Each structure stands twice: as C-alpha cells, then as structure tokens.
Homo-oligomer: A and B are copies of this chain.
C-alpha cells in the first residue's frame, strides 16, 4: 500500500512541532527507520502570532501560512496538518487559498472523544484566549453533541499566560509551577461538572498530561498525530 507524504505546517511554536512529530514517531510501530512515515515539516516561527491576530488586531498569519503550505506542496507533501489549535481559527480562509487538503485538529479531537468507550458528554476546554474568543473549537464539539465548559475569566488569563511562558523555555522549577497552575484550573472545571479535560492548545501538553486530572484527558497533539497516521495510510 502506498503511503502518502504528511506535510506539517509547524513552528507555532517550534516546541509543539517537535512534540507533535515525536508523538507521531512514538505511535508508529517500527523496527527500523524504513517502517516510519515520510514527513515534511516547515517549522516557520515567523508566522505572526495567532492569538494577537484574533484578540488584539495583530497582523494576519494567513499569508505566511499559505506560503508555508505551498512550500510543503512543492517539496512533495500530499496533505497538511497544523499542530497549532489557534491557527485553526483561520482554517476556512486557508482551505480556499491552497491546493493541498488541510486536516482539522477539531475533527481529530472530536473523533477521539466520541470514540471513547467511557461515553464523554461534557468536557472542560483548556485553550488560548484566541481559540476561546473565536469559539470555533467549542462550537465544533457542541455540534457533535459534546457540551463544552470554559474556565472563568481569571483562570482563562492564567492559561494564556502559561502558554506564552512555555514558549520561552522555562526552567524545570518554573515548569512545575505552571503545571500546578493548570492542574488547579482543570480541577475547577471537573468540580463544575466536566467529565473530561481537553488539552486544546498544542503547547498545553508540554506542561500537563494524562495524569494531571482525575478524569480522562484528551490531548490535541496525540489526536492530530493519530489522524495524520490514518490519513497517510489510507492514501
């Protein structure tokens, strides 16, 4: 069976791109290099900040994202994934401007939640201020019958600050403080009725993981890696 070449529109940020590709490799059963999928990554950190564009009138990231997707196509990528949840606010704009198919991380997460045998009907969403403000992710999940709870305003500010801070490569001790902060936000969402937590920004899994909440945790990076592998093998 022919495998399709995966394109990764990355660099938003670089650590999330590394974490995404590491998960894709870890998920792939392999006994030698040649068992792995071919992946072309444009890690382009020069793309303007997505959250700034969404909430503060910053420059649109769309032209740079289109240029990077076109570059991936010239290099031989056959479809594209974007390991940055906030960037998905621009997905419709992107799709009409590029020739490669662009998969959606919203679909990847929704598939994982709906496929979970524990029957999850209500989730707490940890995401950037931009993702929350635009509301596309929450609406996407709600159309699939999943109720979405958001943190209160002070908690949302703390989540956003942690996401920006992790991009600057904090020390181990500071990383532990950021983790404790996000754990507390997740715990409040669970106390409010969430049956699961969605790590809905690709930087958040760099701080907290499956063992940081007393309920199931859905990780957008893991979900996207699974979807990319499936799409490559169905090619």
Interface residues of A (CB under 8 A from B): 11-15, 17-18, 21-22, 25-26, 30-49, 71-72, 74-76, 164, 167-169
Contacts and interface: CB of A to CB of B under 8 A. Distances in A.
A232 to B, nearest CB: 12
Contacts of A169: 25-26, 30
Contact of A36 (B13, B49, B72, B76): B13
A11 B31 CA distance: 14
Given A36-B45, A38-B43, A71-B76, 9 more contacts: A11-B33, A12-B33, A18-B18, A32-B164, A33-B47, A38-B42, A39-B43, A40-B75, A42-B75
B34 A49 contact: yes
B71 A167 contact: no
Given A30-B169, A167-B30, A45 B40 contact: no
A45 B41 contact: no
A25 B14 contact: yes
Contacts of A75: 40, 42, 71-72, 74-75
A234 to B, nearest CB: 18
Contact of A43 (B13, B21, B35, B164): B21
7 contacts: A14-B25, A26-B169, A31-B168, A33-B45, A33-B167, A34-B49, A41-B41
A45 B34 contact: yes
B168 A40 contact: no
A111 B143 CA distance: 58
Contact of A40 (B12, B15, B71): B71
A168 B30 contact: yes
A46 B38 contact: yes
A40 B72 CA distance: 9
B49 A44 contact: no
Contact of A45 (B12, B15, B38, B164): B38
Contacts of A71: 40, 74-76
Nearest to A16: B33
A53 B175 CA distance: 44
B38 A44 contact: yes
A135 to B, nearest CB: 23
